[in-house]
Amino acid sequence: MNPVLEPLFRTVRATHPKADLRLIERAYDVAAYHHRDQKRKSGDPYITHPLAVATILAELGTDDETLCAALLHDTVEDTAYGLEELRGDFGDTIGSLVDGVTKLDKVKFGDAAQAETVRKMVVAMSRDIRVLVIKLADRLHNMRTMRYLPEHKRQQKSRETLEIFAPLAHRLGMNTIKWELEDLAFAMLYPKRYDEIARMVSERAPRRDLFLQEVIEKVSGDLREAKIRAVVKGRPKHYYSVYQKMIARDVAFDDIYDLVGIRVLVDSVRDCYAALGTIHARWNPVPGRFKDYIAMPKFNMYQSLHTTVIGPEGKPVELQIRTHAMHHRAEYGVAAHWKYKEEVGAATPAGKVKPGSDMAWLRQLLDWQKETSDPGEFLESLRFDLSVSEVYVFTPRGQVVALPEGGTPVDFAYAVHTEVGHRCIGARVNGRLVPLESRLGNGDTVEIFTSKSPDAGPSRDWLKFVKSGRARNKIRQWFSKERRETAIEAGKEAIGRAMRKQGLPLQRLMSGEALLALSRDLRYPDVSALYAAVGEGHIAAQAVVQKLVASIGGVESAEEDIAETSLPTRLKGRPRGGGGAGVVVAGDADVWVRLSKCCTPVPGDEIVGFVTRGHGVSVHRADCTNVQQLKEQPDRLVEVSWSPSEDSVFLVAIQVEALDRPRLLSDVTRTLSDQHVNILSASVTTSRDRVAISKFTFEMGDPKHLGHVLKAVRSIQGVFDVYRVSGAGG
């Protein structure tokens, strides 16, 4: 046997003893022969990649056909070895798997192509789910070796991983793959946030581990006394999931990190419930936090009992109780599916997973992609569908309907049937009439009232509260494209009106780039989507104008733009010269000089002077965004140079980026005042992903002092970046 294959075979023997090792070795030999002259970006022989992918899959316990396809997955695309030849050598099943993976690789992820790729992925998955399992293992190995790729490629691949591949792994129940993909992509996309969470975790680890040990010993002791055989261990914390919980639960790091997680593995379903009783006998459960996913498994075959109890020292402890078979399925998902088919069939009624129910989500997705003609819309609904938890509600006849967490009666109506959704006018939940935007909880019984009127249709307001991609798509399809065009025109007019009312420079602010940047910030795909949102009343025109003005440095900067593009006038001698600003104008020491607020220059910056109307000479940094426009009037540019005196004071603007937490702002302002900095203005915004961005403008006599200020702010807990910005308004 080839010694290179020994680690792979050792894993295969442990997870899949009946595998055909000869077939796997033959697949390796064919792949190694055809990739013989190829190298990876790292300089390693290319065959190391298929071998690594096969090893990842072997650890998941996949069958030998999947392992052979993993070894051969790049041969058809990258070598002279054809698909027909491969089918002849290895049979139709392995040929189809390789063909499926090749087709997924062929379509490149661009904005438009991305949706089409995912759509093809769904179709390939529906034929044989193992195609996606191989693709996920392929992506995992690529993410592990991502450092050899150029920066823009790393960013693009990491974003795809976080938005599409990790959620797909979650949907297929492959949690080990999902967690590693998330952490690798998180570290690549947001290295500073990742490092800050890693630092906060390592600081608290020793104290937390002692508490964890105490809980494990008590639980193990109680279960031994109750004669329940069990393995009790701590649950690992993944950096990305810690960060996601900070966003989702809107709480500080300490509250999440102090929440201790324990996993209890037992032999049978009966032992699961017995262990739950034993634990609740010692510690009081937290009301509303018990979930029985054994009786009602999740969409991805996941089964467990979840409970939260008030443990030692009054601290909450989260527990998951499951059998060993359930644990294997929870970790490896569909990859473990083949191995546990027989056991699941023979399980007790409470532990049985209905045949085919594991792939119900996939079938629903297929129906969806047939219904949705626009691939972009399909991708958006898929992303949305992948990223949410579910609640289970009942029809009046007792059928279970799964909805996204926070789902409403309107989501339920569309889940039952499109027409029921369109005609929905009211709902009764658990026998009581409720508003259509009410949130449904697990176990609710929902009854929908429909209108008999032929003109009945959905309301545009529903889009504000529906949670499921299906409902969102159906409502959007109802409102035609003509309405969108009307909304775009209305939005454009409203923004123009709001600007004229404030007397702002319309052409400068309505330029394509400024609006496009703002659209992206507000999560709209393009400018027309922003106009449509304004036209439909989703966002006020005034709010858009304020954000536009802020993006170019505030109202003063916008007005300064008007002043600086006006006609030049001769400067009359001013009573004060440029000394206070620390700048002199070449050839005339008695000119009034002011430092521009749009880029706050300080000594050491390269500067240019511009003769304004009635405001003396304004001094800009050479790299200021406004300088490009000023250069169009070269006769008004003057040479200026630094000449700071003892009484010169300079404006400096800094931006602080941190993971949000209580008292963050007071810590930053205290640190700034400790550095003897006089703060003139401050603005703080917290984004949806729990990142607090604070901007401070302050006066400073000696710009060399700035380095010490930045260093002091950077050492504050949670702060992952701090830097000087080009202006008070950003």
Q: What is the CA radius of gyration of the chain?
A: 31
Q: Is residue 679 within 8 Å of residue 708, measured between CB atoms?
A: no
Q: Are strands 424-429 and 446-450 parallel, antiparallel or unpaired?
A: antiparallel
Cα 250–chain centre separation: 15
Q: What gap in Å lies between CA 210 and CA 190, rounded to an integer?
A: 31
**What are the residue numbers of the active site?**
77-78
* Cα dihedral: 469, 471, 474, 479 (round 10): -100
What is the end-to-end Cα distance of the chain in Å, rounded? 64
Separation of alpha carbons 48 and 61, rounded Å:
20
Is 730:553 a contact under the CB 8 Å cutoff?
A: yes
Query: Cβ of 390: how many Cβ atoms within 10 Å?
Result: 17
* Angle at CA of residue 636, ends 634 and 642, nearest 5°: 100
Distance CA 122, CA 116 (A): 10
AA identity, residue 496: G
Which amino acid is located at 323 in the chain? T
Helices 48-60 and 64-72 pack at an angle, to 10 degrees, of 160
Provide the token pair at 701. 């006599």
Nearest to 442 by CA among 394, 387, 399, 386: 394
**CB contact at 8 A, 477 and 371:** no
| Distance in angstroms (rounded) separating the CA atoms of residues 232 and 275 | 11
Q: Which residues, in sequence order, are bridge partners of residue 46?
A: none
DSSP 162: I
Residue of 672, 678, 680, 683 whose CA lies nearest to 713: 672
Tokens, residue 443: 């176990």
Residues shown for the chain = 730
How many angstroms separate the CA atoms of 205 and 480, rounded? 55
Residue 484, burial from CB neighbour count under 10 angstroms (0-12, 13-18, 19+): middle
Task: Quote the DSSP letter at residue 430.
Answer: T
Query: What residues contact residue 704 under an 8 Å CB cut-off, 6+ apart?
Result: none
Report the C-alpha gap between 389 and 386 in whole angstroms: 8
Which one, of 48, 50, 104, lies nearest residue 73 by Cα?
A: 50
Residues 6+ apart with CB under 8 A from 343: 325
